[in-house]
Amino acid sequence: MPRESNRGRLRSHEACLNCRRKKIRCPAEKPACSSCLRLGQACLYTPVRRASRGGQSEDRLASLEEKVNLILRGSRPVDQIPEKTSTGLSEQSGPSFGEPGGGISDLFSSDVGSEESTPHPSTSTIARGINLYFQFCHRQPIWCFDREELEESGCDSQELVCSILALASRFSRDHAHLHHYSNTARTLIMLRVANGTVDLETMESLCLLSYLSFVEGNVSLGRFHLGLAFQLCRSAALDLGSTYVSNNASLERKKRLFWSLQSLEQCYGEQHGFLSAPATVRRPFPAPAGDDHGFRTDLEAQPPPLPRDDLGCARADDLGIWSLAVHFGWVWSRVRSYVSNCADNRLKEPWRHDSMYAMVISDLTEVENHMPQCHRYDSVKFYERTADELRAHRNYWAPWLKIQFTYHCILTVLNHPFLYIVASQYNPTLTIPNAFWRRSSELVLLHATWLVRMIDMVSDKQMRLIDPFFGHCAAIAATVHLYFCCAADPRLKQKSKTDFAKCRRFLESFATFSPVCRELNQTLDKMLRIASGADRVDYDWTPSKIYLSVPLMWDVLQVNCVPDTHRTTAGLLHPSLVPTIARDHSAAEHFDSTLEIIVAMSPEVTVNTADGGTAAHMPPHMARLSPSPSSSRGGGSSSGGHRAPAAGEVTVGGIDPLVAPADSLMLNTPWLWTDPGQFTDLENMDYQEAEAAIGNVDGFSTWWDFGNL
């Protein structure tokens, strides 16, 4: 590669950063050149460096800068970005997804950059990309800036523009320029780090790129971007509450950036390894007095204040809906740690007061206590809202749905029968009491059914969700309904098959733009084939027992359903550093690592409608049937505990099936037994509008109404 002359290199270093990026002649006036003053831009110069001995350091830096310039000249991503695009942000250059006429089919109708003959983004391309971003990414889950703030700054940050376009390209039909925009943004970010000119927009760009990597399933790259953003936050002291005492124009924007990074860490952060920080130190609110869970909370720094958010609030001191989602997200990160402990065979008996199960339930109750009445399910009446109303106020309803899904998914995972079946299999001395089996079975079915109910309402309202977390919740609920497909009661069996199909259909709607959700869906497909022992399962499938794949179940619960190792580390690690995966996900191994499941008892909950369905009461006595052949193969021990059979066959619940009482799950839930026509095929399902049989929204006499948030 030809080198520039010393004089040319010196002239290049005399120019300001803005003029050097635009490849224009710079007057080199200091402290600000006339060109930047005329455009109203901040004029920055590279610090003068002393020449080292032999000039090797300066030559290397000049060579690196020359390579970056060649990259930028070759692809021309941001050479001619308009200096001021505030007018382009407000105009609707493409289809407006916020208008009443925009339906689900409009999601991919806008192609970001497809009309350009070169990858250089035009004003209209930037405007369409920003519209897509604010429609489907803003506050769901990340919230770095508002549209007004972006208009005021005029999109001066080139790395932020490229990051927005890269994220928006994931939700357009044309993905051709996605990697170009993301690679350009990364190059500009690293150049700012090397030059020591990192600003708030640089860290926001890292937040966007991190979320994009997680959507794509590139976990290693996403965690790298997230970790780099955290380190820059520490350098700027954004993780200290004392930083936010002064009154600064960008104060709220800094808060939103910090907690957006925390939101990504809660869902996608690393759970293993010595360098991983425990979730307890990332609590978004001070721990109650005396409730330190064994940690020295008195030495911990106070968390930064949450951003100001008054959407849907009734009083000035009400916690904002997005901040509330961060609270529940923190509990979800604790659940992820709990699942990791279970996978590592480090489960402490969940019924003990000092177990992690009890701590997470305590944390969830504490967070629920922070939830204002104005945001609760019975107050907002989501089921009464029209599709146009939800579309117009998506900034509120997307975080609200995130809270609802998170709440029910937390209780679904904590009580998932697979965790305790595996624990009893690999710990011969561990006995699970029948009382815990019964209660956890009721809770897991209750909240897995609530997740399906939320899916029904979202489908009925035609509200398109983008965050892959919703797809993950649907996959977890699907494993629960697959488990109950072999229930003894035929109506529960039918309901479970129908709900499993709904979860699959909902998850498939994310597969078009999220590779990680596509892998989740394929994992569920493998689980279904293993469970049934057939390549194709139809509506007539009525199993008396199923086979659960242990590795695939862990993959779903831990979101390990990502592309192969080389793809997940693409763009970051040299092949010599790629970690090896010892487990080979082959079909033969899955069949070798399976559990035979027989659900001999159907969970039952009786709700006293006089108290509004706020408490569950067990019936005073149960009429028993004679033991069935399937239930005699296993069950509780004579001492009252549940011991897993040594041969790998697991029977959950008591020995004898129970007759459902008059006001129980089996006899008072007519809406659950959905039309079998929508369960035509478990393998070939489209995302279509589900017929949400909500029932009487005023009374809610059904058993699952207890348990809502």
Q: What are the φ and ψ backbone dihedral angles of 667, each rounded to 5 degrees?
A: -110, -10
Per-residue CA distances from 571 to 6, 206, 215, 221, 665 (Å): 34, 15, 15, 7, 51
Please write the tens of the pLDDT for every residue from 694-708. Answer: 333 333 334 445 567
Structure tokens at 395: 């900034």
Lowest-confidence segment of 123-132, 148-157, 292-301 by average pLDDT: 292-301
526 vs 650, which has greater pLDDT?
A: 526
* DSSP 8-class letter at 288: P
CB neighbourhood size of 235 (10 A): 11
Per-residue CA distances from 576 to 19, 113, 464, 573 (Å): 40, 36, 41, 8
pLDDT of residue 171: 83
Q: Is the pLDDT of residue 624 over 60?
A: no
DSSP output for 2-14? PPPPHHHHHHHHH
Lowest-confidence segment of 497-506, 524-533, 632-641 by average pLDDT: 632-641
pLDDT of residue 47: 63
pLDDT of residue 603: 66
pLDDT of residue 289: 58
Domains assigned to the chain: 6-60 (4.10.240.10), 86-268 (no CATH), 415-575+588-705 (no CATH)
* Nearest C-alpha neighbor of 480 from the set 436, 443, 519, 425: 443
Average pLDDT, the chain: 74
Structural contact between residues 690 and 460, judged by C-beta atoms closer than 8 angstroms: yes
Mean pLDDT across the stretch 586-603? 61
pLDDT of residue 84: 39
pLDDT of residue 70: 52
pLDDT of residue 691: 37
- Please, what's the largest Cα pairwise distance for the chain? 97
Decide: pTM greater than 0.75: no
461 vs 565, which has greater pLDDT?
A: 461
Lowest-confidence segment of 82-96, 182-196, 367-381 by average pLDDT: 82-96
The angle formed by the CA atoms of residues 394, 395 and 397, to the nearest 5 degrees, is 55
Q: Is the pLDDT of residue 114 over 50?
A: no
Determine which helix (DSSP H) or strand (DSSP E) holds 433, and give its type and residue range.
Answer: strand 432-433
Distance CA 171, CA 509 (A): 12
CB neighbourhood size of 111 (10 A): 18
Distance CA 42, CA 27 (A): 15
42 vs 419, which has greater pLDDT?
A: 419
Residue 6 CB-half CA count within 13 A: 3
Q: Can you state the percent helix, strand and coil of the chain, rounding each to 5?
A: 50, 5, 45
Structural contact between residues 351 and 297, judged by C-beta atoms closer than 8 angstroms: no
Distance CA 497, CA 546 (A): 13
Q: Is the pLDDT of residue 235 over 90?
A: yes
pLDDT of residue 194: 94
Q: Is the pLDDT of residue 392 over 60?
A: yes
DSSP-derived pairing of the beta strands 594-599 and 606-607: unpaired
Structural contact between residues 104 and 458, judged by C-beta atoms closer than 8 angstroms: no
pLDDT of residue 521: 93
Please write the tens of the pLDDT for every residue from 527-536. Answer: 999 988 777 7
Q: Is the pLDDT of residue 664 over 50?
A: no
Structural contact between residues 423 and 342, judged by C-beta atoms closer than 8 angstroms: yes
pLDDT of residue 677: 38
**Strand, helix or coil for residue 653:** coil
pLDDT of residue 330: 95
* pLDDT tier at 428, thresholds 50, 70, 90: confident
pLDDT of residue 313: 92
Determine which helix (DSSP H) or strand (DSSP E) holds 74, and give its type and residue range.
Answer: helix 56-75
Q: Is the pLDDT of residue 680 over 70?
A: no
pLDDT of residue 562: 64
Determine which helix (DSSP H) or strand (DSSP E) holds 496, and give its type and residue range.
Answer: helix 490-508
Please write the tens of the pLDDT for every residue from 433-444. Answer: 888 988 999 999
pLDDT of residue 11: 55
Q: Is the pLDDT of residue 411 over 50?
A: yes
CB neighbourhood size of 449 (10 A): 26
* pLDDT tier at 285, thresholds 50, 70, 90: confident
pLDDT of residue 486: 86
Please write the tens of the pLDDT for every residue from 264-277. Answer: 999 998 877 777 77
100 vs 436, which has greater pLDDT?
A: 436
pLDDT of residue 684: 42
DSSP output for 501-567? HHHHHHHHTTTTT-HHHHHHHHHHHHHHHHHHTSS--BTT---S-EEEEHHHHHHHHTT---S-HHH
Lowest-confidence segment of 484-488, 545-549, 611-615 by average pLDDT: 611-615
State percent of the chain over pLDDT 70. Answer: 65
Structural contact between residues 119 and 77, judged by C-beta atoms closer than 8 angstroms: yes
pLDDT of residue 291: 55
* pLDDT tier at 205, thresholds 50, 70, 90: very high
* pLDDT tier at 209, thresholds 50, 70, 90: very high
Q: Is the pLDDT of residue 425 over 80?
A: yes
Q: Is the pLDDT of residue 494 over 80?
A: yes
Distance CA 504, CA 683 (A): 9
pLDDT of residue 53: 45
pLDDT of residue 502: 95
**Which of the residue ranges 154-163, 184-193, 663-672 has the most confident prediction, judged by mean pLDDT?**
184-193
Distance CA 553, CA 549 (A): 6
Mean pLDDT across the stretch 23-30? 82
Distance CA 238, CA 248 (A): 13
Q: What are the φ and ψ backbone dihedral angles of 607, each rounded to 5 degrees?
A: -110, 130
Q: Which residues pair with 91 in a beta bridge?
A: none
